[in-house]
Structure 1
């Protein structure tokens, strides 16, 4: 078989999803397509390993089947080809094979295939499932045919396509990958470090950390990757993602990070060198009462209000940092200035956790027009950065094409250069001392510190009137940004109050 090009691979994978159109919601594609893709990969790699062992043993059939020659064990009757030959009740055959694979590989695959309704013949008749299996069977997904990096990239392509088609639910499992790449570069993970995402979705941030270490020439195989994800299907997708990228040392555990953190060492939270996260924002359904008496000590800044668990996640992340740990967290701007979280924010700032606050442009949250920000914290700030916070206003460092917003490489580079320089850049970056922050009640709203530069500053300085209509507009926008951020927060709060007071239907 010849190598499959990246374009052919992406077309092949998306072609499988097209077969489901009209039968199930686009948001449900992932729970069927990803398990079948992984099942096909496991089977084809097993065959490849079998042929290699056969060649090494001069045709010893028994030796070629030894468990030691295979990464995953495939029980008799649970190979892709067995399912392909099933004449009817194909959904049951698929479900049975997947459960047998999980049972035969409990340490690696327990629960990985999720709980998709394979046997619902109204949604997935035999004909559709046979078409899917035949479509996947048109390619051999061996390592020789499709190396791990290439299949991993195609898997990420498919995750994004599903996010594009999933509407408002996309943000629950997908974070804009250009933002993820920027966050990873800001933290610069190193060989041998432990990396954690407490709300890992499909694993994109962990994959990005791996890719960044590879790109910088580090030994990526020594990285230790950890994640927790509440959703069963999404946690399975994350594990498949890491397997398909060739990662071996990882732990993705299903569970609610606030209610039941799974990464524990002894009687305390496990601590990590690098944490990347895009937590669900302003969730209302969480156990605030339990958090008031949190046995893991994650309420050291205080207990957040019931309607906003943001600082519960923030404290979980800070409590999970090692002595040299640093984190980058993607948030809406409200966490920077909301009055109800002021006391917690004050403590976080005064304890010198915060290293940088980076404001990004609108529409980078999936299917949301909100502006986002990255909060970078560091347990081991360099001496020159202690008792200081860098603010970066990168509102305009964004591109929008075909209804998609993203950061171009030059946008990421400008932000990264400013972060590494840690110096004032008029209109873009400002280093603020702890004393200055305290004079503003530790409000971290970026427009308070980074003043936008007009295009004709010198002429404006010599005149009481703006030099042009464009300059007047720019001045108005600058002065109004902080106000409108506060207004967005007020509207969100009022919406919350209305929803809480409305009688149940």
Structure 2
């Protein structure tokens, strides 16, 4: 598929999404359209898999007659193979195309184009059957309640049952016409389109966008930082994984990750992350994403990861319970992160999971670089005792959806190649302005990565600071302390300015005299004293 065809697919899906939207806000209609696309993907995947199973019998999965004993036997054979290989199952009558066709009646030239049969009940049953097809199998946790956010009874879809049904049937009909091109195993066309939609929804979701999406340039930067020098990762982890886009970017940059781990607090976003993984071709056995509060109820204790990335909620609240002083994640630091600023609590949690040969990159607000009290104590311990901070990278302001604050990326390693210093990069002025948003382009990311690899001083951009200098600054990591970005203004020649003012005054006087002379000739009083 060409790049132009790829863009056309993305635009088609976005147009269909807007047709569904109606009065719903971005994060509400996102759940419906992405859920329907996911259902279509699962259907096409099953149909292709069924054809492969039945190839020796020269049969097509969609042609199997479920009303006959022979047909049911064939369906059952495909089911057993599919649940083991794909983790779920759909019968031929439950496939997306079959339902979309049942939902739409094409009228003749004397009609008004199309009408819709009632399919909401069938759709609800089918989505439930997908989840139930996994019960008792290894994939059960990955499909459990996966479609719970597709509330087909919601009044947001329409005031009446007919209105709801007509809208859903219309959307399914439009989606049914789109070829997802799953036969092209070398191109993740649908995965890219899905990512595009998630990004577009985030752009319109305001502050809520930060709950589920990290802008692609930031994801790319973090992914590149943790995969430098690696072509394959054993494991990758994101403790606040949102829609999973950041983890998928790591997988892409590393050309493969054996196992992906994540945790997400928001139930709806957790469902979206699992869909995103499956839709990008990540086998159910190759990801482990849990739904819980990462700080209060961590789900992957005892595991170590080669790559850790995160864009935690900035300055989030947490309990900061004194009981956590007995938690191995926090006990060694002597202080807990403030209850109203959990930024360092996320850092401590992530470091407890970082493997000795691993790299960790996390996006945080600038306050973590210089705030005192408990945060100052934790920051000093990270640098002085653990010596695991490898780099501090300042990003442009206004690059995240829902907040315009400037942010930074902290890079950590347990076993550092440069244990005597920390690299500081000020990339805050390297961006393009796009409408109301600042955007980092590939060339901006490339420059950051080059600076991280080179680890050299570059005027007004990067500097390698010794641990001694950082200690002398009382472990304050504020970037301007280390990277000088002051621009000297051109000196002002006061004598030249005075001469110019005198010249202007003389020209003004001569102009006034000329105007006064004209006024006298006309027999009128000048508007000023000549």
Decide: shared fold, TM above 0.5: yes
Change (3 A) 1:2 1:184: closer
The equivalent residue for 2:81 is 68
Equivalent residue in structure 2 for 1:212, among 238, 253, 262: 253
Does the CA contact (< 8 Å) of 2:264 and 2:291 recur in 1?
yes
Q: Deviations over 1:337-371 (max 9, x none)?
A: 01131111111111201000000111112132211
Aligned equivalents of 2:468 and 2:223: distance in 1? 30
Task: Quote the offset at 1:93 in angstroms.
Answer: 3.1
The equivalent residue for 1:501 is none
Does the CA contact (< 8 Å) of 1:2 and 1:145 recur in 2?
no
Aligned equivalents of 1:37 and 1:467: distance in 2? 67
Aligned equivalents of 2:236 and 2:16: distance in 1? 33
Aligned equivalents of 2:34 and 2:57: distance in 1? 34
The equivalent residue for 1:100 is 129
The equivalent residue for 1:177 is 216
The equivalent residue for 1:9 is 9
Asked if residue 135 in structure 1 is aligned to residue 189 in structure 2, the reply is: no
Q: Deviations over 1:216-249 (max 9, x none)?
A: xxxx2x5321111111111111111121111121
Does the CA contact (< 8 Å) of 1:3 and 1:144 recur in 2?
no
The equivalent residue for 1:444 is 477
Asked if residue 115 in structure 1 is aligned to residue 154 in structure 2, the reply is: no
Give the match's secondary structure for 1:313: helix
Change (3 A) 1:207 1:252: same
Task: Quote the offset at 1:253 in angstroms.
Answer: 1.2
The equivalent residue for 1:361 is 396
Aligned equivalents of 1:114 and 1:146: distance in 2? 30
Task: Quote the offset at 1:88 in angstroms.
Answer: 6.0
Larger Rg: 2
The equivalent residue for 2:324 is 292
The equivalent residue for 1:24 is 24
Give the match's secondary structure for 1:300: helix
Does the CA contact (< 8 Å) of 1:365 and 1:372 recur in 2?
no
Task: Quote the offset at 1:21 in angstroms.
Answer: 2.7
Equivalent residue in structure 1 for 2:288, among 230, 234, 251: 251
Does the CA contact (< 8 Å) of 1:44 and 1:142 recur in 2?
no
Aligned equivalents of 1:352 and 1:193: distance in 2? 24
Task: Quote the offset at 1:277 in angstroms.
Answer: 0.3
Task: Quote the offset at 1:295 in angstroms.
Answer: 3.5
The equivalent residue for 1:343 is 377
Task: Quote the offset at 1:82 in angstroms.
Answer: 5.3
Give the number of equivalent residue pairs: 448
The equivalent residue for 2:387 is 352
Asked if residue 389 in structure 1 is aligned to residue 428 in structure 2, the reply is: no
If the length of structure 2 is used for normalisation, what is the TM-score? 0.79
Which segments of structure 1 move beyond 4 Å, counting only runs of 4 or more? 1-4, 60-65, 86-89, 145-148, 465-468
Change (3 A) 1:95 1:414: same
The equivalent residue for 1:487 is none
Change (3 A) 1:439 1:159: same
Give the 5 Å matches for 1:260-279: 260-264=297-301, 269-279=302-312
CA RMSD, aligned part only? 2.6
Does the CA contact (< 8 Å) of 2:325 and 2:336 recur in 1?
no
